[in-house]
Amino acid sequence: MRVAFITHYAEMFGANRSLLNLIDGLRPYGVESFVITPDLGDFTKALEERGVAFRQLAIQEWMVTSPAVRNRWQRLYLNLRSLPHLLSQLRKWQIQIVYSNSSVFAVGQVAALLLRTPHIWHFREFGELHYGMRLDWGRRSFDFLVSKSDARIAVSNCIRERLLYAQLNGKVHVIYNGVATEAEFDQLCREAEGREWTHRAFTFLMVGLFHPAKRQEQAIRAFARVAQQFPNTRLLLVGSADTPYADTCRNLVARLGLGGKVAFPGWVSDPFPLYLKANALLMCSQYEAMGRVTAEAMAACLPVIGSDSDGTPELVEHERTGLLYHDGEEGLARCMARFIENPMWARELGQQGWQVARSKFTSELYARQVYDVLQSVRK
């Protein structure tokens, strides 16, 4: 089976890391993967290492932040100009299924219709709710094109219910991301046995894009409350720190006098060593579709404190695999203090989280479920 995956960026953020897990996991099923990407970057380097053929094409998104909406005609023109090259490449690869790896572009669906090839659409994000993005051509055009896909995959039940509510349920498959192989899960569990657990030096970790929707500011303010009572506590904010919002977060840390307690390690290609050194992960996003980093943390036996909204409660069960909070920074601070005061309880929740994650978020299960969808649409 020859499948062309289309992605909308070339960095190693969550969607592409999940795509790599999928490409690796589908190989034992005889699936030959090809990739269309708009840029070159760490993702294409990883493809080269795997011997996966790819082509760079200037694919434009149809869901953008508000200031860019006025350029929708330009994006449409660029997509129309790229479309013949895309069709030619797909024919050259003798593609049997086109697979769009995100909801923020539609050219994969258009190409599949023109080629009369099955199309699968993977929905991984709340573009409008989470990032304030707007559709170039409105909700009707979104629902119409999505309805033309042969199958839709949602990364969580909340994506299915809140984003794909207009679609036929029979064609919407909820498949959680796979974040590690079964062997990697077992290795992470063994390595986690060496994690330090003490209230004297409790480390909280937050991993992700610096963006107001991720609510790093909320984490900083909650940490400031906790640090007054537990002065040796630390907070690591991991992610690319060269954005205006990252500057806002650094300025907040300075104003609150937390300079020696909060660190900005920058973006890391492999977050698992950080998971193994931390004592709890913070997931503060209000509109998280699934939260790959949440599943990764659970794979490393790391308990999670998450906002009780959208996709996070599907992964984290309150007081069993982690804690869920309400009431903003006050609620978050209370949960953080509970872990610091009861580190061995936090450790227990992390171990229980690992058991749940190993049953739901392995690369093997992920690939098997997606392969079943591929088989269902194959002509």
Separation in Å, CA 317 to CA 58, 206, 303, 349, 350: 42, 19, 11, 10, 11
CB burial readout 155-180, b (16+ within 10 A) else e: bbbbbbebbbeebeeebbbbbbbbbb
pLDDT at 145 over 90: yes
CATH class of 2-178+362-377: alpha beta
Average pLDDT estimate for 69-76: 82
Q: pTM for the complete prediction?
A: 0.92
Distance CA 365, CA 336 (A): 32
| CATH number for the segment(s) 182-360 | 3.40.50.2000
All CATH 3.40.50.2000 domain ranges in the chain, comma separated: 2-178+362-377, 182-360
pLDDT at 67 over 60: no
- CA geometry: angle 305, 307, 308, nearest 5 deg: 110
**Helices in the chain by DSSP H: which ranges?**
14-26, 42-50, 72-92, 107-115, 127-131, 138-147, 157-162, 182-192, 216-229, 244-255, 272-277, 292-299, 312-315, 328-341, 343-360, 363-377
Q: pLDDT tens, 292-340?
A: 999 999 999 999 999 998 889 999 999 999 999 998 999 999 999 999 9
Going by pLDDT thresholds of 50, 70 and 90, the confidence category of residue 129 is: low
Average pLDDT estimate for 275-296: 94
pLDDT at 169 over 70: no
Which amino acid would we find at residue 118?
P
Q: What is the DSSP letter of 180?
A: B
pLDDT at 344 over 90: yes
